[in-house]
């Protein structure tokens, strides 16, 4: 759509026979967040009013009822994308594309008919697919992946999640909110290692409160049925220990890594350079080793976020047809959001990263338990951290664990993008009661820490 704004003729090659939008709409982001929204509503109701009979949510609700509103949401998002494409006069070719050269794409449709299209530029945005486990057979009945779990007709009483990334954390907390007893079996040494240490500590406290079992550095031996106990069993070992551990479950959710969808696209044949993992190698303008071939989204690797993909694709178009200076002026700090319950979000440096860089920093903290809004909503688990330079109070990082974290982070992003300081939060009125008030509390908390180190309060506020 950005390319059409430059009055260019655009064609999308879409593999799906009916939908547009790929995993973002059909299988991943939108449907999983629909489940989260339902689970969050149920948890909020439980925390406010409880159940007079003491029943767990999985005893009161059916999964198919919870997910009933997923269908109109997905249909609505698909219609919106299609309408936008039609409105912007973007053409669509249904089928599988393959590059013939830097200007030519061959498309084989679902009737096996071939068509050739030529263009000044080609953008590869084929996304990624989940990796297949070596010793686990995903049958989509007992052993599920992140797409088939959304098709369950019931809420499981017990769920084992094999995985360690953000998707595993999201599903673990969502099902825990529905009353499911969850166990996370992580084959890595740590879970979400990129998180700020205090944010991770808060997350692990939530795990303990919700009885989410977490085992790190495990190796899966097998998944087997126990007919006598009418359940499945996951057999595993921890670390170097030879002791076999067993956990019972109703279902297993396997969430492994992702692999780029770069096979059978003719990329290597035309000279597009791929890295050792098969991702398309691009420069800071999302241009591949061939001048006329660009790539964006999961197919180029991290951060593997829908939000980042939108920006990458737009900037690639700007490089092709617009003003390349916009790319150099674009935001280099990307926010992240984990849609667990509560949410996790951040931008810029963590406290540990700033210290490792040798920066003289101070940290300001606001705990959700001190927010009136959180009290009103019974959502007092959370912390907002501001990491800023001690000498000039410049904000260099925001790390949040708590409800609406993925929304709140953008206020910090705006201040950081303008090289602003924590004085922004101190000198402005923020609505009360709101979760945004946490910025003001954290800013004053940080300012007090600097003041206690010997710098007079007035001098702090007078700094440029």
At residue 225, the 3 state secondary structure works out as: strand
Show the tokens assigned to 19: 């939908």
pLDDT at 414: 95
E strands, 354-451, where?
361-367, 383-389, 395-401
pLDDT at 390: 93
How confident is the model at residue 240, as a pLDDT? 86
How far apart CA 158 and CA 144 sit, in angstroms, is 13
Residue 105 tokens read as 């794409």
CB-hemisphere CA count at 13 Å for 325? 1
Per-residue buried b or exposed e for 434-448, using 16+ beta carbons within 10 Å of the residue's own CB: ebbbbbbbbbebbbe
Residue 196 CB burial class (10 angstroms; 0-12, 13-18, ≥19): buried
DSSP structure class, residue 296 = -
327-367 pLDDT tens trace: 655 556 788 999 999 999 999 999 999 999 999 999 999 99
The tens digit of pLDDT for each residue in 204-239 reads 999 999 999 999 999 998 888 888 787 889 999 998
Nearest CA to 328 out of 320, 318, 337, 338 is that of 318
Q: C-alpha angle with apex 137: 133 to 142, nearest 5 degrees?
A: 120
Do residues 141 and 248 make contact, with C-beta atoms less than 8 angstroms apart?
Answer: no
Beta bridge partners of 345: 337, 400
Site of tokens 């050792």? 276
d(CA 358, CA 419): 19
Report residue 78's pLDDT band, with 50, 70 and 90 as the boundaries.
confident
Considering Cα of 244, then 245, then 250, then 251, what sign does the dihedral take? Answer: negative
Q: Are 374 and 453 in contact (CB under 8 A)?
A: no
Is the confidence at residue 137, as pLDDT, over 90?
A: no
Per the model's pLDDT, the better-predicted residue between 127 and 333 turns out to be 127
Region of residue 358 (phi > 0: left; psi between -120 and 50: alpha; otherwise: beta): left
Distance, CA of 181 to CA of 231 (rounded, Å): 14
* Average pLDDT of the residues of the chain: 87
Q: How far apart are CA 193 and CA 177, in angstroms?
A: 24
d(CA 218, CA 306): 30
Tell me the domains of the chain and their CATH numbers: 2-26+69-128+259-328 (3.50.50.60), 132-256 (3.50.50.60), 342-462 (3.30.390.30)
Question: How distant is the alpha carbon of residue 356 from its chain centre?
Answer: 26
Count, residues in the chain: 464
353: its two tokens: 């990263």
What pLDDT score was predicted for residue 50?
66
Identify each DSSP E strand in 243-316 by its residue range: 245-249, 251-254, 258-260, 293-295
What's residue 160's pLDDT? 96
Largest CA distance in the chain: 76
- Report pTM: 0.83
Helix (H, G, I), strand (E, B) or coil at 269: helix
Average pLDDT over residues 396-420: 96
Contact 189, 217 (CB under 8 A): yes
Which pLDDT does position 37 carry in this prediction?
Answer: 81
Instruction: Report residue 456's pLDDT band, with 50, 70 and 90 as the boundaries.
Output: low
Phi, psi of 294 (to 5 degrees): -115, 165
Burial of 360 (0-12, 13-18, 19+ CB in 10 A): exposed
The enclosing H or E element of 198 equals helix 197-209
- The backbone torsions φ and ψ at residue 218, rounded to the nearest 5 degrees and listed phi first, read -105, 160
Q: Is pLDDT of 23 > 70?
A: no
């Amino acid at each position: 759509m950005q390319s059409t704004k430059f009055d260019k003729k655009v064609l999308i090659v879409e593999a799906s026979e009916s939908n547009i939008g790929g995993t973002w709409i059909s299988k991943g982001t939108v449907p999983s967040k629909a489940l989260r929204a339902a689970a969050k509503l149920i948890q909020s109701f439980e925390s406010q009013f409880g159940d007079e009979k003491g029943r767990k949510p999985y005893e009161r609700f059916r999964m198919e009822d919870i997910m009933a509103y997923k269908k109109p949401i997905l249909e609505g998002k698909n219609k919106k994308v299609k309408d936008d494409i039609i409105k912007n006069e973007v053409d669509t070719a249904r089928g599988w594309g393959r590059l013939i050269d830097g200007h030519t794409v061959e498309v084989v449709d679902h009737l096996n008919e071939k068509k050739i299209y030529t263009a000044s530029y080609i953008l590869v945005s084929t996304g990624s697919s989940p990796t297949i486990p070596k010793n686990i057979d995903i049958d989509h009945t007992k052993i599920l992946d992140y797409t088939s779990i959304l098709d369950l007709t019931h809420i499981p009483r017990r769920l084992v999640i094999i995985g360690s990334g953000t998707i595993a954390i999201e599903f673990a907390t969502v099902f825990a909110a529905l009353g499911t007893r969850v166990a996370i079996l992580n084959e890595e040494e740590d879970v979400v290692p990129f998180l700020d240490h205090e944010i991770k500590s808060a997350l692990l406290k939530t795990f303990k409160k919700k009885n989410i079992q977490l085992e790190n550095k495990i190796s899966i031996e097998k998944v087997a049925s126990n007919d006598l106990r009418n359940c499945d069993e996951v057999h595993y070992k921890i670390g170097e220990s030879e002791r076999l551990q067993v956990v019972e479950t109703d279902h297993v959710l396997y969430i492994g890594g992702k692999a780029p969808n770069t096979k059978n696209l003719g990329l290597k044949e035309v000279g597009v350079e791929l890295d050792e993992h098969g991702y398309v190698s691009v420069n800071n303008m999302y241009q591949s080793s061939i001048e006329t071939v660009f790539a964006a989204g999961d197919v180029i690797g991290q951060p593997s976020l829908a939000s980042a993909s939108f920006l990458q694709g737009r900037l690639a178009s700007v490089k092709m047809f617009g003003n390349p200076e916009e790319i150099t002026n674009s935001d280099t700090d990307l926010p992240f959001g984990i849609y667990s319950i509560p949410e996790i979000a951040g931008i810029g440096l963590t406290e540990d990263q700033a210290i490792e860089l040798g920066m003289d920093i101070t940290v300001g903290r606001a705990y959700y338990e001190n927010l009136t809004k959180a009290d009103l909503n019974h959502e007092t688990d959370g912390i907002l951290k501001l990491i800023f330079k001690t000498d000039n109070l410049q904000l260099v990082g925001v790390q949040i664990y708590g409800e609406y974290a993925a929304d709140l982070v953008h206020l910090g992003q705006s201040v950081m993008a303008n090289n602003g300081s924590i004085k922004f939060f101190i000198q402005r009125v923020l609505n009360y009661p709101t979760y945004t008030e946490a910025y003001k509390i954290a800013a004053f908390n940080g300012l007090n820490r600097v003041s206690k180190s010997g710098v007079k309060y007035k001098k702090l506020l007078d700094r440029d």
